[in-house]
Structure 1
Amino acid sequence: MQRGPLAGREYWHCPNCQLIHVPQRFLLNTAAEKAVYDLHENNPDDLGYKTFLSRLFTPLTAQLPVASQGLDFGCGPTPVLADMFRNAGFGCATFDIFYDNQPATLQQQYDFIVSTEVVEHLAAPAKVFQQLLACLKPNALLGIMTQRWDTFERFKQWTYRNDPTHICFFHEQTFQWLAQKFGLQLTIYPRDVVIFQQSSSG
């Protein structure tokens, strides 16, 4: 008999936007969820981790004006990506609901927002997406990194879904749906990265 947080877990699929999500009753409580994150090792001296973050950092910085000010949403206990932006000459604030929970940070507007390996953990992704869009200045960029699913056959064998904190799984069409719904420009990159651009009118 299968035991643990994944036992009997269901995955619901939205045919409109292609998002696959886990129903509320299968979600971890806050303490159990944080306990998983506490096991993560995001070492600022780990060149491999920085290379991983560069999948988003490199294409996004290529589009940023000098002295742009940004936000690393879901920065974790060690804001390695924010430090990469700062070292490149950009300002970068941080927010994390578990490790850097400063609500005032989400009341400001930014030239760019980045969120790496975060959206797959969100119980209410549409609400958070709208919240982040409200924090973008006109023409600002929103960069997201998360693994994308492509076919149901592969999803069934996908180890990424076996993390009990992974509860939302995005398809390329999910991001296209979001771009159309909110009037955003979208660029899809390989290796799990997408970048949205806010319209000039905000």
Structure 2
Amino acid sequence: MNLPTSNGPQNCPLCDSADHSSFFNNRYHRCHLCDLIFLLSKWQISPEEKNHRYAQHQNSLEDYGYRKFLSQIITPLSHYLFPNARGLDFGCGPGPTLSKMLQEQNCNMRIYDPLFFPDHDALKSKYDFVSCTEVVEHFENPKNSWNLLAGLVLPGGILGVMTDIYNDNIDFKNWYYKNDPTHVAFYSTKTFSWIATALKMEIKYQDERTIIFRLSPPDRQTCAPPMSHAL
């Protein structure tokens, strides 16, 4: 269920296709296969700068506005959860909030963040569901990161992702979402369809910011087309 191995630094960081071209300002390229828009690595800020920016995030359970923001993923996600479901909030940031809100819904939660909560034992288990909120746009190596995410979900389990989803009605030049220098990967509906096919998942829900995948159960995992044929 893994995405293909990269064959060169110029290939798309998600699908490994060499068929991509400049999309904006010669800094962003768009893949013609999976439709990912990505910031070329030479234009990305340093890891130290990224970590400094991440440390500025100040979110808490007591912040009503932030709770309302997170409800955009919790509301659709809750339709696929059950009491005592085991979940992982991947990329929870310095102030875990989503996990606490899901605990309020009787879910058993663990958290993981590579900078603030680097509990690698949490990555050794599989979960009924994994939440990933405002994280995938930061993936420098989306191929490896999406493989990791899907590998954390039990067969038949749920992966809930929140990120601003690009479409061609958006004026990319003036799009606020690209202005955060830590945002390096942007996804369209076509991109998520490619990911679902490649990782043997089914899209159960999607709006302009949230997408819910279900990992295929074991008896269906052999039915997906080879990734070389995905989309």
Q: TM-score, normalised by structure 2?
A: 0.81
**In structure 1, the residue corresponding to 2:115 is in which secondary structure?**
coil
Q: Kindly provide the amino acid, as one letter, of the partner of residue 53 in structure 1.
A: L
How many residues align? The count is: 195
> Kindly, what percent of the aligned residue pairs are identical?
33
Give 5+ residue unaligned stretches, structure 1: 1-7
Native 8 Å contact 1:68 1:112 kept in 2:
yes
Pick aligned residue for 1:170 from 172, 187, 192: 187
**In structure 1, the residue corresponding to 2:33 is in which secondary structure?**
coil
Native 8 Å contact 1:143 1:193 kept in 2:
yes
- The C-alpha deviation readout for 1:21-78, integer Å capped at 9, x for no partner, is 0111112222110111122221221111111101111111121122100000000011
Superposition deviation, residue 151 in structure 1: 1.3
Q: TM-score, normalised by structure 1?
A: 0.92
CA shift in 2, pair 1:198/1:15, >3 Å: same
What's 1:68 paired with? Answer: 85
Native 8 Å contact 2:83 2:105 kept in 1:
no
Matching of residues 34-113 of structure 1 within 5 Å? 34-113=51-130
In structure 2, distance between residues paired with 1:189 and 1:44:
25
In structure 2, distance between residues paired with 1:89 and 1:169:
33
Matching of residues 1-202 of structure 1 within 5 Å? 10-151=27-168, 154-201=171-218
- The C-alpha deviation readout for 1:107-158, integer Å capped at 9, x for no partner, is 1100000000000011011211111111111110000000011117611221
In structure 1, distance between residues paired with 2:141 and 2:201:
20
Task: Indicate the RMSD between aligned Cα atoms, in angstroms.
Answer: 1.5
Give 5+ residue unaligned stretches, structure 2: 1-24, 222-231
Q: Kindly provide the amino acid, as one letter, of the partner of residue 163 in structure 2.
A: T
Superposition deviation, residue 188 in structure 1: 3.7
- The C-alpha deviation readout for 1:137-188, integer Å capped at 9, x for no partner, is 1110000000011117611221111111000011111001111112211034
